[in-house]
Amino acid sequence: MPETLRLDNGALCATVRLRGAELCSLQDCATGEEYLWQNGSGAWAGSSPILFPVVGRVREGFLTHQDQAYPMATHGFASHSLFDSYLSTAGEASLLLLPDNTHRGCYPFAFALQVNFRLQGRALAIRYTVRNQDTTAMFYSLGSHPAFALPRDPHGLPAWSVQFDQAEDPTVFRLAPGGQLLSTTPEHFVFSPGNAVVLTDALFERDALIFKNIRSQALALVHHTTGQRLRVDTGGAPHLGLWAKPGADYVCIEPWWGVDDDASTPLALADKPTMHSLASGCEQHFGVAYHIAAV
């Protein structure tokens, strides 16, 4: 079995790993320009992990369901799991994750997670389908975590900004001291003109910026002289994370359907406020898209 799948529609080329169903390359076919982080500096080994069945950290490192405790890693287990490929064409691929004994030890539901990648002109659309194959309601959250490469600029990171398409509340959530859980108190955040977050070396020294209940449904990665490099359509995700290793030449623009626990979040999976409840036999769909500007 191959370790990766390659998509090519003549405009864009994409490579997806079966491990984690992780998008690991997105290139302009004509120029070879790479739009995803390739870890040339060793700053961070990821490229676009899928966050499932939790987003972020869970309190105490475990969750409970029906009085049983289940250990759960940060961002869940999908990014480390081997998916099966059941559709692969020149411009489209679909991958599927079903639970095995490892998953059952940390998550008490029979689920199916399907991820579809489709190239459409100069865009890559990603569709996530979560299916409950259990006999009772299941609870989960989901998130996308793409890391977009930033070409080096003499002005450094401040040459780049992430622009929201709507004015947002001037608040942001950070990790609480100790870096294990989300703070319960939002911080005041000053956007730059154009609803923009200007990237700096110090911006992520306290880890991610987490924006809850956003209005925006699209965010643009913009260079101060050459203009828009790409646009991320969030699919209406209610929350957003921005993150990078401090000073690294990438930025993660992360649509989330869930957030980290804070110190007051219940341990019970069914009581966590941003969890989705999915009835037996039902499925839910989520999607994001990355639109690449013409070069």
Q: What is the pLDDT of residues 74-90, one digit of tens each?
A: 999 999 999 999 888 99
Domain count of the fold of the chain: 1
Q: For the residues 110-123, what does the mean pLDDT come to? A: 98
Report which secondary-structure segment, H or E, holds 242.
Answer: strand 239-243
Which pLDDT value is given to residue 1? 61
Q: Out of 25-34, 179-188, 229-238, which region has the weakest mean confidence (pLDDT)?
A: 179-188
Tell me the CATH number at 232: 2.70.98.10
Provide the pLDDT for residue 180.
Answer: 79
Strand 218-223 and strand 160-164: pairing? antiparallel
Confidence of residue 2 (pLDDT cuts 50, 70, 90): confident
The helix, strand and coil proportions of the chain, stated in percent and rounded to the nearest 5, come to 5, 45, 50
Q: Measuring CA to CA, which residue among 270, 261, 148, 126 is closest to residue 199?
A: 148
pTM: 0.97
**Are 69 and 62 in contact, with CB atoms under 8 Å apart?**
yes
- The pLDDT of residue 260 is 96
Helix (H) or strand (E) holding 104: helix 101-104
Q: Which of 74, 91, 83, 76 is nearest to 22 (CA)?
A: 83
- Domain assignment of residue 187, given as a range: 4-292
Dist CA 138 CA 157 (whole Å): 42
DSSP 103: H
